Chain A
Amino acid sequence: MSFKINCAIFVLLFSTQHLFSQGVGSIKGNVSDGITGDGLPGADITVARTSFRKAADDKGNFELKNIPPGEYDLDITTVGYGVVHRHVTVRAGKAAQVFITAVPDGKSLEEVTVFGRSDREKEIGARDREKNASNMMNVISAQAMVRSPDINAANVLQRMSGVTVSRSSGGDEAYAVIRGMEPRYNNTLVNGIKIASPDNKNRYVQLDIIPSDILSSIEISKSLTADMEGDAIGGTVNMVVKDAPDKGAFKATASIGYSQLFFDEKFSTFSKSDIQSQSPNQRNAYGHAAQPGDFSRSNLDFRSVQAPPTGTLGFSYASRFMHNKIGVVLADNVQNQYYGNISRRFTVTPVDFASDSLRYLDGTDFKGYTQQLNNGTVAHLDYVFNERNKVNIDNFFVYSYLASARHSEDTTLVGTGRVGPGTGEIFPTDESYTQRQYVENLKVSGKHVLLPALTLDWAGVYSKAQRRVPDLADIHTVYLIKYDLSRTGTDFDDITHQWLKNDDRDYTGIVNLDYHKNFDAGTLQLKAGALYRSKTRDNNEDDYILRPPSTNSNGGAASKPAWTGIYNASWVVFNPSGTGIYNKNNYTADENVSAGYLMSRFIAEKWEAGAGVRLENTKTDWAVKVFSPTQPSSGNQTYGDVMPDGYLKYKLSGKQALHASYFRSISRPNYYELVPTASFAGDYYVSGNAYLLHSVADNLDLRYELFPKGEEHLFAGVFYKHIVNPIELRLEGASDGRITLRPDTSQPATNYGAEVSFTQYWGKLGFTGNYTYTHSSINAFVIRRGVAGYKENRPMQGQTDHIANVSLLYKDVRHGVFAQVAYEYQGKTLVNVNSTTYDGDYYQRPMNFLSVSAEKDIRKHFTVFGKFNNLLNTPAVQYVQNTLEVSRDQYRATYLVGIRYDVH
């Protein structure tokens, strides 16, 4: 099989020279980008005034043989680069060496036809996207992702300007925080279109389950235009998957790695063979009363083993057939990772009634051991009817499997017999957790040039996401450390089993019309379009509690039995019918969004301006099965927004511009947040809020943009956001004695800041980085003794004050060496708001991360690489009131080495 099907085909035309003459020489060399140093595959080398001609290979190397001795002029032409001329002298029997660097054209590579486009996979293409976009973007290409220390989208994003990644405490789900705006204010797209989420709480897909190897770029839009979905206040994360290039390619990669944690200690695991995929009530006839034997034991038998190595395997194949009419891309990447964390967490409570200072309430030691298997598959098929019509089918599929053993020991530090450090009641919990998530996104789209100046594009998308958590099981036990530090035996408290499932399905239809007209003064673009999306979500949970049997029957009551292991335990099912019928997590939600927009843009030589308006109407219905006839059982929410935007770009020169923008955007409440069913959480109720309003924000941006050459860039900007009806969790109803923690709309918040990012090369050394300052401000209710309705002014949840990323790059194209040392600084972050306690908010200490990646070409097409992360073993530490440490998570370093095969 040839992978050069679509390479510009050049035939060596032999002149009348003798083919194997002794008296000939050759010209060997390499063509590379003068700025990035990357080889330029397909560069066309012609020997002037002769018929000698050759195309450079995938690394930019070429060799012209059988050249008669003499003086020659070489013309080197590469698409997107200026023509280079070089004079060489060829001597008989010798190879003349030439190393040619080409400089990119000043001309932009704007998408002018249906098919032409800049190469998104390369950093140069990324700069090009940023430069030509009418909104403010930061783009990272596949080329940079492959070379980075990262293997999934979440970690890649963490290095991008103004982005941090929030991981819910104890969980593995990762979502982007953009410019200090927590995940609810951002949206996640694949190929520009929102996709269904497997998460039972969040609207968006978790970023840690998406292998970065199936992406061709990630684009973060920090300002919106009317043709983009309007529900992003912080920004939009758009993951662009592999697309068929103009020429064929085959890539494969494999790697193996290990976590330092498992050099230091064993990995805890359990058998998955007996896990029941359905709960007793789901797999039996209606009315079945669950029996003790309905629950498996082996998934609660924890064993310590040496952790297997982490491995990744992937390939991508792209080609065009039938005279380039059909394009095909197939890419798959599997990542099987083993990782863990060692954590200690505390909750806090006021010392007494008079002062605002806090002390520990209870503490938990926590260890988690996780296997995560992610598989990402991309399939693309396109058919080019003719120069004016093209149809695409894209399928994006992610499967993620998680198996986690979690062990915790919880101590109540207040009350119940604690007389000093190390004494009191200890509540160990051992949990086995397995989860399967599927995300599928099937898109059929087309682009049609109706008139030379008028283009129509359309897309129909089916998106489906599922999450299955079969038999999430916990063993609860208890023991006591007495005042004299002697320890009692362990008693069996109970065992819980839960079956959770979530289904999310979207149908989306999109149509856009795009009209161009050229004038002397510039180009006018008019665009109009519409979107309709219908979503349904179904969330189900079935819970069972198993209790020691001797305590549940008349006359047989005794103390709790001693815990002597899962195979010795006997129990009764306390709630044989489960909670499948009445459970506040059994909710359904439907949402219909219809949107339309008009926008216009004028591009002149020195300036560029655009304005648009987008209308979005949303109707969300929810329903929940309730136990009490007077509890809310269903409801809906409708709202409509008119969202104007405008931008102005003033080109100071061909390479630099001033870019200003305004846009209005919204943020929708999460579905479950509307469901008002309350459950009692020990000290207060937790519920949703059927009267929650959506958030609306006005956003202003100003940015200076400089694109000196190649991958280099410099952005410096400021932003300001005013958010009406921000949503925060709040404790309410303290006055009537019943206290409820629920999401609510707060007073308007503001968020402003500044951002700088840059890439600079000096020969083989490069330097890239970014810095973001964020300052958000919100007045929020906090319970403070003696002050009714007390409000504090604080940042919005998720805000980090200073974020900096700096990478030192070393690139030696001739020897095929690339190395990167990446440093990341994440400043003080407000991770959790504590509305129950004055001055009790949880802040994360500033963190420093160091990662290293390196690669070296070893043979033609083969590259070995290594990725080494968290080399400083940076713990995530949270504290309250500047001094009281409430949480410490340690993950340890990870190491990965691999090999890559790459043919164009």
Chain B
Amino acid sequence: MKNRISPVSGLFVAITAIAVVLGGCSKSSNSVNTGPVLPAQAIRGTTLSGGNIKGVMLADSIYTVNGNLTVLPGDTLTVQPGATIKVNGNQAFYVQGTINSVGTPTKPIVFTTTGPAQPGQWGGFQCDSAKAVSFAWTKILWAGAGDSAGNTRQTIAVSVPIPVNITDCWFVGGQDNAIGVYSTAPVMILRNSFYGNGTDDGDCIDFHSGVTGVVAYNCLWGTAGSAIKVYTSKTTPLANAVTNVAVYNNTCVESGFRRGSKEPGRGVLVDNFSVAQVYNNLLVNNLWSLDVTPFADFQHTIYGYNYFYVTVDSLRQWMYPQGEMGVIQKSDIIDSVHLGANNPMFVGYTPPPNPSVRIIPTNFDFHLAANSPALGKGTTSIPGISLPAGAPALSVDMGAYVSDTSNGKGNRHAPGY
């Protein structure tokens, strides 16, 4: 039997036609939901169970925090002088908006744990996407407990390019870095005291990427890693500007021992593409004292008028570590031949360093005695550099505690915390 093609082949042609007419077309839609957004807590209640928070924590009140607190973008959390905030368990502040914790010399603000006074009790301030961060006359104690992935947390972590102003604060017993800035933020880190930060790693001040500004008049004792680390991200140096900060009049004592000699910490470290101006710092018994590495922008890094003192023989050769780019400057006060030369005459200090001691001994007082040879040895200007607005001038004295405390100069803290 002979078939004729017509009826069925019509279907063939039709399907072909459909394919051709429809051609190709694609449509697509995506959606994203966020978790439940809790209403902001009114801060009259002094027991905070967690969720979002904004408004004012009242002066002289004692708050207990039982859950993670988030400051939403657009919100501001203000803490009034004299407030004490105790954080229970491994809770943290997530700051996406603005935080202002501004105490006074007589009424400092205290953030601490409800638990034992030991490192890594709560999560600190995770300001990964904050709008502004200001802390003054605030004590932040025993922070740095692990995050959801089990990693240690920095006491204050900032990863956005916002102004970071931290002045006259105390950082005690953090598990990891006390202050970590991982963005092109302008910083003013002035007159703070850092005692016993970093358990077996962690720095007091860790700049990671394109930070600019000033680190001055800070006293940093007993850090696990480096007291002040000036660094630019090694994988993204081209994305951001390089870190470029002025580091002057800081007192760095006994840094780097807890991280150990295999991964030595420094008093001041300038590394990886970064530029720094390092002057008038008092560097005492650090594992490595002042290190400008071959990977720093050492051609543009300038330093001098730094004061070095070690009481342990094995530390002498690491004041400027051998093989690195940092070398003794004529203006430095340093003697790498005679052990114990150039004692700055602290009001209270008992060498040698004992890394087993995490709590600063009560007799330690890094103010300079009246007969200190570190008095009057500093420089008052950094060659070719004008400091940003708001930065106090350099002192004629070495270190954080200086005799002329006018115009923002000099650390105002009494010993201890």
Contact = CB atoms under 8 A, between A and B. Distances in A.
A361 interface: yes
A790 B162 CA distance: 25
Given A524-B12, A692-B30, A644 B199 contact: no
Nearest to A691: B30
Interface string A557-574: 111100000000000001
Given A611-B16, A632-B34, A684-B236, A491 B260 contact: yes
A578 B294 CA distance: 40
Q: Is the interface of B mostly helix, strand, loop or mixed?
A: loop
Interface in B254-292: 257-264, 271-273, 288, 291
B22 interface: yes
A733 B368 CA distance: 47
Contacts, number: 304
B327 to A, nearest CB: 13
A734 B239 contact: yes
Contacts of B149: 543, 579, 583-584, 679
A22 interface: no
Contacts of A738: 128-129, 159-160, 183
A633 B35 CA distance: 5
Interface stretch (B79-87, B355-363, B382-390): B355-363
A583 B148 CA distance: 6
Interface residues of B, number: 101
Contacts of B106: none
A598 to B, nearest CB: 5
A209 interface: no
B119 A554 contact: yes
Nearest to A641: B26
Interface string A538-552: 000001110110011
A838 B237 CA distance: 11
A523 to B, nearest CB: 11
Given A575-B150, A629-B70, A684-B235, A419 B96 contact: no
Contacts of A613: 15, 18-19, 22
B272 A415 contact: yes
Interface string B337-361: 0000000000000000001111100
B261 A559 contact: yes
Interface stretch (B2-10, B55-63, B305-313, B400-408): B2-10
Contacts of B161: 736-737
B37 to A, nearest CB: 6
Residue among B32, B129, B294 with the highest chain A CB neighbour number at 10 A: B32
Contacts of A480: 261-264
A690 B34 CA distance: 12
A95 to B, nearest CB: 54
B28 interface: yes
A584 B4 CA distance: 64
Interface stretch (B132-140, B213-221, B244-252, B316-324): B316-324
Interface stretch (A512-520, A800-808, A812-820): A512-520
A574 B150 CA distance: 7
Interface string A594-638: 000011101000000001110000000000001111111111111
Contacts of A640: 26-27
Given A415-B272, A629-B52, A483 B260 contact: no
A841 to B, nearest CB: 15
A483 B322 contact: yes
B25 A642 contact: yes
Nearest to A692: B30
B29 A642 contact: no
A700 interface: no
Contacts of A629: 34-38, 51-52, 70
Shortest 8 CB-CB contacts between residues of A and residues of B: A419-B323, A737-B183, A554-B118, A582-B148, A737-B161, A557-B358, A611-B16, A785-B238
Interface of B: 2-5, 8-9, 11-12, 15-16, 18-20, 22-38, 51-52, 68, 70, 72-73, 94, 96, 116-120, 128-129, 146-152, 159-161, 173, 183-185, 196, 199-200, 208-210, 231, 233-240, 242, 257-264, 271-273, 288, 291, 293-295, 297, 321-324, 355-359
12 contacts: A491-B260, A526-B12, A551-B199, A635-B33, A637-B30, A645-B19, A646-B16, A691-B30, A734-B236, A736-B161, A737-B159, A785-B238
